[in-house]
Structure 1
Amino acid sequence: MNTFFTKLLNYYDLTVADYERLCAKVTSDDLPRAHDFFNFDKFIKRIEKAIDSDEKVVIYGDYDADGILATSILKYAFNKRGKDVFTMIPSRYKDGYGLNTAVVDKFSNRGINLIITVDNGINQYEAIDLANALGIDVLVSDHHELGEALPNAVAILHPELSNLPRINSCGAYMALVISYGILGYYDDYLISLAGIATLADMMPLVDRNRTVVKLAIEAMNDQQYFTLIKLNDSTFVDETSMSMKIAPKINALGRLSQNYEANVLVEYFTTTDIKRHYDISAYVEKVYRERKDMSRGETLSGEELAFPAIVLITDELEGVLGLIAQNYVLEHNKPAFVFTESSEDPALLKGSVRSRSGFNVVDAFSHLNHLIVTSGGHPEAGGLTIKKDDFKAFYHAVNEYAKHHPLVKVSDKYLEVTLAEITTENYALVKKLAPFGHKFRAPLLFVSPLTNINYAYSRDEKHVITTLSNGIKLIGFFLAEASKNPHNIAFTALFSESRFRGRQSIELRINEFITA
């Protein structure tokens, strides 16, 4: 047996049978039965009543990629049934997250009979109670954490309310399940949208989530859907381009839309008007470029970097604060709190936090609770609101806490290989396990010893760009200087695939050099 293959199996703790199962071709029949979700029949029965009675229906989504794609999936499915429905992607700045009473009042005034929530609704008790009082039925599809009680909706679809393995699936996946009930089959285009959302929302890439992403990649490459290829800037699609090219462009519009501009994306994914596809995609590209510029953040002074945490106020929009904070964490290896003045109340500051192992955001919020108005999140990311007058006290309190909770480097798991094992054949063995993503990462290679490598560099002498004897390219961005260290004993790297003008090439992307 190939020794690399044995190492690969050990890396993932797989048997040969496990490997073959993960590599096997999948079809839509491999997706869970829709009836495995509790309330599925009741949910679809209420939709059929709305179609048969020509009721006024609104699909209420969310402003992130998952919510936008979930809304698009349902709109598309209703269109295929010949039923016109309203859709609403709320404004992050005017409506906030989730169905609310003000929006329900507006729907009532417009004569809406049925609200279907996607990617929200499971904790919006007050809004749903108001809808009931106003004679509006509500169907909830969501994947966020269940509260102590369920809302008083006609029916609820949720990953945990099922007979399936207890893993989270995104809002668009739940919308895909509903589309099956509406259409009677899983549509390949809608599978593609759900696959993008699964990656965008960082769902664990196991079980049904892995299946839907695998199906999405196959469908997008086979069918060449114009709306998706246009956002991808390439006819070749894989999990990397879905999560790094397509999803960020969808997210950008939701993050920056101060009004309701993100709603054009639902039109983009559901219209058959090619001119609108061109117009909207050009607009999305423009907003995405603006978002990239904004998310870089300001260059920090030595004084700002002298403390254990980065805590600052910016003029940027709330929707890009998390991106700015994340960039600071990556660049400076410190927890980052980035605030901006609240658009609702100038006496308040709204902020985003990003961190890594060692500084638990939830624990920090608990410790700083006396200075926080509202907060929420998970160990490595969160959002909060504080009083502007408390900023100075908050700044000092965060840094005092961070002094005792520094970020720690988590030991990476490596697949130890020699240069001789960096071959196209071994790359193919790895590639068969794709798609890779959250909870199923591509193997991180530990390459040693580094003998007989004659490094070549980019024209500006900043990057390693070397072709190995077997034709595989060795790429190391901003690692030219590090490659010249005589004490290097290894480097860590990931297999990568590049396509240019229809030609495929295999690369090894160096992460870092390891010294003795």
Structure 2
Amino acid sequence: MRSDFLFSSRNRWNFVNNTDTKKVDELAKETKTPKLVVSILFNRGFDTVDKINQFLNPKLEMLADPFLLHDMEKGCERIKKAIMLGEKIAVYGDYDADGLTSTSIMYEALLQLGADVRYYIPDRFKDGYGPNVEVYKQLISQGTSLIVTVDNGVSGLKAVQYAQEQGVDVVITDHHEMPAELPNAYAIIHPRHPDGDYPFGELSGAGVAFKTASALLEEIPSEMLDLAAIGTVADIVSLTDENRVIVSTGLKVLQNTERIGLLSLYQEAGINQEKITSETIGFGIAPRLNALGRMKNGSPGVELLTTFDEQRAKEIASHIQQLNVRRQELVNQITTEALKMVEKQEQDHAVNLIVGQNWHEGVLGIVASRVVEATGKPTLVLNADETTGAAKGSGRSIEAFNLFSALDGHRDQLLSFGGHHMACGLTISTEKRSEIQTILDIEADKQDISTAPQPTLEIAGQIDLTNFDLSNLDTIEMLAPFGQDNEKPLFAFTNYKIKTAKPMGKGNNHLRLTLKTTKGDLISAVFFGIAQDKLAQILQDPAEVEFVGYPDKNIWQNKTSLQIKIDDLKLEQKQENQQEFGTRLKVFDQRVSKLTVDLFKRPGVYAFFEKNILSQVKKYLPSDAKAVILPVQEQKIQTTDLFLIDCPKNLRDLQNSLNKVDAERIHLVFYHKNDVYQHGMPDRKQFGNLYRFVLSHKDLNVSRDGEQIAKHLGLTKELLIFMFQVFFEVGFVRIENGLVTGVPGTQRVNLQETSSYHSRRLQIRTQQILLHSKSADLIKWVKEQSI
């Protein structure tokens, strides 16, 4: 059997096999837990009865004593002293979902204790992240004598120093990376403080605030678990140990919350309260809270989460929903523009540095992530400000490239910079753009990312779809809530055939497969965010798709059915024997409007109808590829893969060439510079209007004034130039030194009999079939010509 990948999976699939099946059987029996669940947990390091029982039964009693946190006792004493003396307290938060929930938790706890308290959420665009000296000055001038930070503070050296100089104490509650020099704060409550000994260091900002609230109130404030759960999931911290307890119990509070703001947000977002999961937080609640800080100011988020005013809650929730929709639109728009910039780059870079203008800086981190997904490369996306000459934005990376270490040694070339392995924020001078690109390329070469191993997906096992139903899914979901360090287990699936494959979504950028089990049951499998070239190949022959994913629930019109969410897939062409190989032609619709380097990576024959297009891309062709100019004359084209790169001007040239092709796969790229089909043919009235115009205007400079003339006549410039070609052919105009002048004439002429008119009509018919027909119709037509 021969196996040939048309495209491979994004990751290497590692099927995890239990080497100690006897131990798994024993643990399953002792814990009275299904073997599949125990097997998955065993492979993740839960290898004792106690570990498995604690994981599967998270309870509030498992939370550690909050006073084990460094400076907790000292910080709480100072806060209680401020409350007793009637001091003004300011809770200084952050503008993301973790920061907003942290602020809300601390604010509510202090209100319960009778504090004179207010909160401040920094403005992303004006104040930046973390303690800001100017804001501290403002708070202190308003009478604040104690500042309590949440989800920030350990990086606020200057601001904290200023506050202390003014006699104002700062109690920091934070969870971010500790700098080499810590602020001289009154207290630093942090789960990873170097002088502390807290048993779990992965709390979110909301988690630290929740622990502080527990210490202040001297009990676990279960009514705040909903906020703590949102912050924990939103900040993508490890969903193990205490975080698992917080999220598991917090989800139950979210499903039953009477918090007016959350109920209003559920309604706006179309969230079913009873069905809330960690995924609901991650994809429904958190992005909406984050939209506030990304697009405007995050302060209304705290008001939403803490208000008792139903009308105000509805107003804020509606505002958030509108901002989130706008955020999504901006992300899609900027991502499209950014990817086009990558395609147009003359040089292929290991790291994408994309600089645009008039881009909303609040969404550039999301855009960078999207570009990483699309290109597989580390990406920095910046917005250039013409006034300041600076470009500011965000970067996202891949496991094989440490973004922080790549740029940390070049701070002298940057205006500002901060981040970690996988993400960063930075500002550069636009004049330094090429230097920064060179630095990134050199660092990528140092880290040798071109030879980095393919990322690995751990596959928990195989699922026989014949005997799998929703009750089996409930068994797997004993492992929930899922998230960082407790990912959904992925599976391969057996005993099914792929019945149909269809694109879905507004942009047809998602895939839906219909699977038919050996019992005849139909199950959907969906894959989100598929590239158009891969989609086209799958639609051609879906039966050969292989995938791994997670069995999930699909709820539609109050009906729940089994659905598979595909995590990764590949397309493999299998042939039963060597004789059959080559007898079945496969045609793939890979039509594009832009040529990119990625199109020229596979061996085969690359065919062109225009010599100038070949000359432009020849340097990108693989060393083992061959290029030919069509239509071919006597020679026969024999190859495994034939790539038709550009679009012919008439069908006859393509038909003659296809008759002389012996290929196993034909890839239809059909790049075109000018889509004449969309412009169409001018009618008699338009010809008449143009003729009258040229007779009344001498020496027309079409190259300079063509757009203006075309607009005046209600034409496109492309159509105007074609009409001048027809007029020149019949003598209605003369062209001297690039200037067009009308020539009066009395003889009637049939313009449709000109060679220019005939040639355009053939070109329109050609493009109608090759560029604008449906994929299935085009593939059928090409196969018919190749017989």
- Following the alignment from structure 2 to structure 1, what is the Cα–Cα distance between the partners of residues 64 and 264? 30
Paired residues of 2:500 and 2:542 also in contact (CA < 8 A): no
Cross-structure match for 1:391: 433
Q: Identify the range of structure 1 (236-245 vs 143-152) with the bigger mean alpha-carbon deviation.
A: 143-152
Distance 1:124 1:513, change over 3 A: closer
* Cα distance per residue 1:315-336 (max 9 Å; x no partner): 2122211111111111122221
> What is the CA–CA distance in structure 1 between the aligned matches of 2:37 and 2:181, rounded to whole Å?
49
Superposed, 1:266-305 pairs within 5 Å as: 266-296=302-332, 297=334, 298-299=336-337, 300-301=339-340, 302-304=343-345
Distance of aligned partners of 1:312 and 1:490 in 2 relative to their CA distance in 1, 3 Å threshold: closer
* Deviation digits for residues 28-83 of structure 1 (CA, Å, limit 9, x no counterpart): 22222112213222211212122222211110011111111111111112222343
1:199 to 230, 233, 237: 233
Superposed counterparts of 1:442-461, under 5 Å? 442-448=488-494, 451-455=496-500, 457=502
Instruction: Say whether 1:48 aligns with 2:84.
Output: no
**1:143 and 2:175 are equivalent in the alignment:** yes
Counterpart of 2:380 (choices 322, 333, 337) is 337
1:463 equivalenced with 2:525 (yes/no): no
Query: Which residue of 2 is the match for residue 156 of structure 1?
Result: 188
Aligned mates of 1:148, 1:217 — CA distance in 2 = 37
Q: CA deviation at 1:509?
A: 1.1
Superposition deviation, residue 356 in structure 1: 0.8
Partner residue in 1 for 2:250: 216
Query: Cα distance 1:191–1:388, how it changes in 2: closer, same or farther (>3 A)?
Result: same
**Aligned mates of 2:523, 2:323 — CA distance in 1:** 36
Per the TM alignment, residue 488 of structure 1 is displaced from its structure 2 partner at its CA by 3.2
Q: Distance in 2 between matches of 1:127 and 1:456?
A: 58
Q: Which amino acid aligns with 2:75?
A: F
Do 1:141 and 1:174's aligned partners in 2 also have CA atoms closer than 8 Å?
Answer: yes
Q: Tell whether 2:283 aligns with 1:244.
A: yes
Instruction: Give the Cα separation in 2 of the matches to 1:58 and 1:99.
Output: 12
Match of 2:551 among 495, 503, 506: 495
Q: Distance in 2 between matches of 1:35 and 1:428?
A: 38
Question: When you count strand as a share of all residues, which structure comes out higher?
Answer: 2
Q: Does 1:66 align with 2:131?
A: no
| Matched ranges for 1:124-143 at <5 A | 124-143=156-175
Distance 1:82 1:354, change over 3 A: same
Verify: 1:405 aligned to 2:405, yes or no: no
Partners in 1 of 2:439 and 2:319 — Cα distance? 42
Deviation at 1:451, TM superposition (A): 4.2
Counterpart amino acid of residue 291 in structure 1: R
Kindly provide the CA deviation profile for residues 289-328 of structure 1, in whole angstroms up to 9, marking residues without a partner as x: 1111111223333323852232222221222111111111
Q: Name the SS for the 1:214 alignment partner.
A: helix
> 1:19 pairs with 52, 55, 66, which one?
52
Partner deviation per Cα, 1:391-442 (whole Å, 9 max, x = no partner): 1332344345546533753021112204346433432221001111111111
Shift of 1:185: 2.3
Deviation at 1:119, TM superposition (A): 1.1
Equivalent in the alignment of 2:121: 89
The amino acid across from 2:377 in the alignment is K
How big is the shift at 1:274? Answer: 0.5
- In the alignment, the residues of structure 1 paired with residue 542 and residue 527 of structure 2 have an alpha-carbon distance, to the nearest angstrom, of 17
For the structure 1 residues 199 and 41, does the alpha-carbon distance in structure 2 shift closer, same or farther, using more than 3 Å as the test?
Answer: same
* Identity across matched positions, percent: 27
Amino acid at match of 2:223: Y
Q: Is the alpha carbon distance of 1:366 and 1:157 closer, same or farther for their aligned partners in structure 2, counting shifts above 3 Å?
A: closer
Q: Quick one: structure 1 residues 419 and 483, their matched pair in 2 at CA, closer, same or farther if it must change by over 3 Å?
A: farther
Match of 1:316 among 332, 338, 359: 359
8 Å CA contact retained: 2:106, 2:209: yes
Structure 1 residue 475 and structure 2 residue 526: aligned?
A: yes
Q: Secondary structure at the match of 1:428?
A: helix
Correspondence 1:181-196 to 2 at 5 A? 181-196=215-230
Q: TM-score, normalization: structure 2?
A: 0.61
Partner Cα distance (2:253, 2:493) in 1? 35
Matched-pair contact (CA < 8 Å) for 2:154–2:172: yes
How many residues align? The count is: 510
- 1:172-183 alignment to 2 at 5 Å? 172-183=206-217
**How far did 1:338 drift?**
0.9
Q: Is the 8 A contact 2:501 2:538 kept in 1?
A: no
Could you tell me which amino acid in structure 1 is paired with residue 470 of structure 2? T
Superposition deviation, residue 281 in structure 1: 0.3
Structure 1 position 471, deviation (Å): 6.7
Deviation at 1:121, TM superposition (A): 1.2
Classify the secondary structure of the residue corresponding to 1:454.
Answer: strand
AA in 2 matched with 1:34: P
- The alignment's C-alpha RMSD in Å is 2.8
Q: Identify the residue that residue 586 of structure 2 maps to in structure 1.
A: none
Tell me how far apart the structure 2 counterparts of residues 318 and 488 of structure 1 sit (CA, whole Å). Answer: 42
In 2, Cα distance between equivalents of 1:187 and 1:16: 31
Are 2:463 and 2:491, in contact at CA under 8 Å, matched by a contact in 1? no
With over 3 angstroms needed to count, the CA separation of the structure-2 counterparts of 1:28 and 1:283, relative to structure 1, is: same
Asked if 1:381 corresponds to 2:423, the answer is: yes
Residues in 1 aligned to 2:152 and 2:496: alpha-carbon distance in whole angstroms? 55
Give the stretch that moved more between structures: 460-469 or 318-327: 460-469
Q: Which moved more, 1:216-225 or 1:206-215?
A: 216-225
Which residue in 2 is equivalent to 1:264?
A: 300
Describe the shift of the 1:408–1:245 C-alpha distance in structure 2 as closer, same or farther (beyond 3 A): farther
CA contact (8 A) 1:189 1:225 kept: no
Greater Cα offset, 416-425 or 126-135: 416-425
- When structure 1 is superposed on structure 2, of 218-227 and 97-106 the one drifting more is 218-227
| Kept in 2: contact 1:360–1:380 (CA 8 A) | yes
Moved more, 38-47 or 414-423: 414-423
Q: Distance in 2 between matches of 1:362 and 1:140?
A: 25
Matched, 1:509 2:530: no
Structure 1 CA distance for aligned equivalents of residues 127 and 344 of structure 2: 38
Per the TM alignment, residue 352 of structure 1 is displaced from its structure 2 partner at its CA by: 1.2
Counterparts of 1:14 and 1:348 in 2: how far apart (Å)? 50
Whole-Å separation in 2 of the counterparts to 1:428 and 1:8: 15
Change (3 A) 1:318 1:466: same
Once the two structures are TM-superposed, the CA of residue 368 in structure 1 deviates from its matched residue by 4.8
CA contact (8 A) 1:423 1:470 kept: no
Structure 1 position 502, deviation (Å) = 4.5
One-letter code aligned to 2:324: Y
Q: Work out the CA distance in 2 between the residues paired with 1:248 and 1:267.
A: 17
